[in-house]
A and B are shown apart, each in its own frame.
Chain A
């Protein structure tokens, strides 16, 4: 079960590689990090203090449930960040701290 990119009526640029929890995945320049993670099958973007999984909810930068660590920087909203070649992403952090 995962998300799929819509191919009809849209042509994307050549993909770039980003690293998610140590594994390289393909992402398309311009798309949001949330899109790239969902398309790669990631559902739990962060864990709460109690360990519960969370993923994108509002997808408009308001709920802060899709926060991940990007290049060491914590609590980056995946829905508001754009993918960049070589970006290193860590999921699973407690984002409410």
Chain B
């Protein structure tokens, strides 16, 4: 069995910063990530084979460059193209294996890579798995050409690909403006950008964010993209919610619906725009699957992205030997993730006995100081751009697919909920209707299911709970493992 003192899951800003700090203090740390290169989604790098293609310029990516460079020359062991599909307490035999000179491992990580299944024992685990785009179920959202804004951005930023000819962007998060700006810079035809919020609310929120930071950085810099979009003649529609995607074999047009401040439709006419790609940016969902599977406590905080992992002042989760950092504590962006990664690492150094309590406090002081304004900023962004979940759930007509994997419609869900008023939690809805039982393991239907169940039962999301996360938290590619003659596609390094 492989061993490490600390296993860090996720090589984005939080994981990179934490692993580097731990390695600097002599901790044997393994950084595990599913991608071919470190960086996570925000610092997702183009392939090594692409000469001249780096991360986009600008402040937001500068610290990413520094982290990625630092990790290259560090003692951090990197285990890329590796899926962590479960977190388990060690079995008796595994405890025996490492007893003696080595302390008992607190957790065993179940890994899958191109060579097969492996187990990695670690005294401490830091979960920094990031977030994914908030899925929104509306008519036509399963058509090819309808994509998450983060997915479109990754094509442009990391693959140097415009994934379509003519783009519409619809959402409610300032990231959408940055994606539109990057599309424009790459020469794309951007037909429209539609935000659900009213214009004064967006302008005021961006101004408030800029004031809070005292400088224009990160998302507060969304004002720049707004100006550039206007100069480029891109229609920026406020108070418009995506209503439908039309097409047969792929997206052909998008319908945008005028909405009021609560995102409810009012007497107005849909705007229909022909396009082949729709980027959706209504928010983000923390990737808490491993933390939930391991039994860590979670709390419902809608503005922060839904369920977030509960933690103490050192970012330790409720189960001993597990810490969290970055989006799992609430969606807050890269800068905060870096400081949380460092803070969590300080706590782990203390837990491992590398530093004493006073030493841990001294080490953590800088990150704690930096986190105060960052948290004020991220809280403001979360509150001002919180998705209105009831309004989004109301977009699903009865024939709209909610569970993309099992093709369960909103109508089936509504009928099941109406026929079983006793259904107490999300798991019961799952068992009754098969929602959430496909390969994505409920990541893309869970929040819609919960919103529909909340509406039907009068229960709160906190009462309904998330789907129970069971191992494997992502499908393990058993077909690949069965035949060693088919190696996992390796990245071709120049």
Q: Which residues of A contact B (CB under 8 A)?
A: 1-6, 8-13, 28-35, 38-39, 43-45, 48-50, 52-65, 67, 70-76, 79-84, 87, 95-96
Contacts and interface: CB of A to CB of B under 8 A. Distances in A.
Contacts of A31: 47, 49-50, 159, 161
A46 to B, nearest CB: 10
A82 B132 contact: no
A60 B132 contact: yes
Interface string B16-54: 000000000000000000111000010000111111110
Given A10-B50, A30-B492, A35-B155, A44 B144 contact: yes
Nearest to A72: B486
A9 to B, nearest CB: 6
Contacts of A72: 486
Nearest to B285: A62
Contacts of A43: 144-145, 249-250
Interface in B210-244: none
B250 A10 contact: no
23 contacts: A2-B165, A5-B161, A10-B50, A10-B52, A10-B160, A12-B51, A29-B494, A33-B489, A43-B144, A43-B249, A44-B144, A48-B407, A53-B250, A56-B147, A57-B147, A57-B151, A59-B152, A60-B151, A63-B444, A64-B405, A64-B475, A76-B480, A96-B407
A63 B147 CA distance: 11
B160 A58 contact: no
B345 to A, nearest CB: 25
A72 B146 CA distance: 28
B489 A53 contact: no
A49 B250 contact: no
A12 B50 contact: yes
Given A1-B164, A43-B250, A6 B187 contact: yes
Interface residues of B, number: 60
Given A30-B491, A30-B492, A13 B49 contact: yes
B49 A57 contact: no
A64 B440 contact: yes
Q: Classify the interface of chain A: helix, strand, loop or mixed.
A: loop
B144 A55 contact: yes
Contact of A11 (B52, B186, B249): B52
B292 interface: no
Contacts of A59: 147-148, 150-152, 154-155
A55 B277 CA distance: 11
B7 to A, nearest CB: 19
A39 B159 CA distance: 11
B477 to A, nearest CB: 7
Given A3-B165, A8-B187, A10-B53, 13 more contacts: A5-B162, A11-B50, A13-B492, A29-B494, A35-B159, A38-B163, A39-B161, A54-B142, A55-B250, A56-B147, A61-B474, A76-B477, A84-B489
A25 B165 CA distance: 20
B151 A49 contact: no
B363 to A, nearest CB: 33
Contact of A61 (B34, B156, B186, B483): B34
B438 A1 contact: no
Interface string B469-481: 0000011010110
Nearest to B478: A75
Residue among A32, A50, A62 with the most chain B CB within 10 A?
A62
A77 to B, nearest CB: 9
A17 to B, nearest CB: 14
B406 interface: yes
A6 B407 contact: no
B407 A82 contact: no
Nearest to A55: B144
Given A12-B50, A83-B489, A55 B145 contact: yes
Residue among A61, A67, A87 with the most chain B CB within 10 A?
A61
A61 B49 CA distance: 21
Contact of A53 (B148, B165, B249, B443): B249
A67 B474 CA distance: 14
B120 to A, nearest CB: 20
A35 B477 CA distance: 21
A59 B461 CA distance: 28
A29 B494 CA distance: 9
